[in-house]
Amino acid sequence: MGAVAAALKDQGWKVSGSDDRAYPPMSDFLASRGIAFVPGFRSENLPKEDAVIVVGNAISRGNPEVEAVLNRKLNYASLPEVLRANFLRGRHNIVITGTHGKTTVTSLTAWILEFAGKTPSYLIGGLPANLGQGACLRDASSSRHFVIEGDEYDTAFFDKRSKFLHYLPELVVINNIEFDHADIFKDLDAIKQSFRRLLNVIPSEGMVLINGDDPNCLDVARNCPSPIVEVGFSENSGNRILHPWQRDARCGFELFGEKFELPMTGEHNLRNAAMAISAAHFYGISTKTIREALVKFEGIKRRQEVRGVVNGITIIDDFGHHPSAIRQTLEGLAKCYSGSRLWAIFEPRSNTTRRSIFQHELPCSFASAHGVVIGEVNRAAELKPEERLDTTRLVADLQKQGQVAFHEPSAASIVKQLRPLLKSGDVIVVLSNGAFDGLHEKLLEGLV
């Protein structure tokens, strides 16, 4: 929503909005672009003049602005509808999907196309350093390619289909499929069904790139009416990743008989890069150009982002919140910072991880960490006790694995409890898809 707001403002639209939980980096980004948002939702926030009211998918009935929109019979739409109607028709739309890695693959793909002079439009759920913004909606006459992060989450309270079904895909990447979004999907089969619907609207001249090592992806792609290429490490993958390596915060591999390298770490980023390379290759970009673009990739806000080093202690911010993403992130950081003690601080904040669904999976996902701190379950009062992630049990399971582990209810108490346990050379990674009560800043200040 924020990224599209900025891009629309650049095109001359007058943009304003409301939000009750805006936090950095997006709140800072909006402020830098001169876009005002009102804290809280009230009917008087709505514009008096004619406008398109774009309703975010986190908004539900009962919201005072929604009720005013319906009662006044104003013109409203979901964000995907606005994109489809105004920006996606007639373009080469590259839709990046999957449970994990969407933002990274979308950022890499958009950057490669930008570096190659294709002047793509793009919409990314993060802030890539090379591009400087999460959205760039260029005129169709100068921008034939559109790279968009395709979320399987529902579209709006009035449209429960997945967002990506609106995006008129030509090339689709399915990076992986796991159970997530427990507030929307009943089970894994329901998620798979949504991906099957996506594959059913890809044109016959289009392409599907799927994770050739993921059984769920292979299952979904059966009977797909469009061409499919598997990307992965397995022998059956058409685009096979060969000779992977990781060292000194970099990784690399071979694909299409060429060597590629990028300044990131972790097996998941090897896969992410291979998907982006395969997408760029489909549109005729030379491997030489792709290789040069990857080397110059500067990363994404909140994806293994080093926020600072205080008294020899490195503080890293990462968006990981699903057990698989946590495991892969920590494994990659453990290799990158070999010889250092790795501390993971996790906020159970997503609609899935704040529930007990991953109670058994979470302890193993932290196996690469020396110590683990579990924050307060976000919006815990909204869940019944039996539905809620049991942080006491999670800490006990981590301790049984031989790890230092504890639970603290606030950012301030986490810093106070953690500080005497740290020493120079340690690495702290904060894992959250939210602001985590300003924990990053409190660590930088409290460890001085």
Question: Tens-digit pLDDT profile for the chain (448 aa)?
Answer: 887 888 788 878 899 999 987 777 778 888 898 998 888 999 999 998 889 999 998 899 999 999 999 999 999 999 999 999 888 999 999 999 998 889 999 999 999 999 999 999 999 988 898 998 888 888 888 889 999 999 898 999 999 999 999 999 999 999 999 888 777 888 999 999 999 999 999 999 999 999 999 999 999 999 999 999 999 999 989 999 999 998 877 889 999 999 999 988 888 889 999 999 999 999 999 999 999 999 999 877 777 788 889 989 999 998 777 888 888 889 888 888 888 999 999 998 887 888 888 898 899 999 999 999 999 888 888 888 888 899 999 999 999 999 999 998 888 999 898 999 999 999 999 998 877 878 888 898 888 7
Same domain, 262 and 280: yes
Same domain, 274 and 361: no
216 belongs to a structural domain: yes
Same domain, 61 and 186: no
Domain that holds residue 238: 81-295
332 belongs to a structural domain: yes
300 belongs to a structural domain: no
Same domain, 120 and 167: yes
Same domain, 87 and 140: yes
Question: 263, 295, 327: which is the final residue of a domain?
Answer: 295
Q: What is the CATH number of the domain that holds 414?
A: 3.90.190.20
Number of structural domains found in the chain: 3
Dihedral over alpha carbons 171, 211, 271, 243 (to 10 degrees) = -120
Same domain, 179 and 113: yes
Token pair for residue 64? Answer: 């005072």
CB–CB of 389/348 below 8 Å?
Answer: yes
Q: What is the CATH number of the domain that holds 59?
A: 3.40.50.720
Q: What is the pTM of this model?
A: 0.81
Q: What is the CATH number of the domain that holds 242?
A: 3.40.1190.10
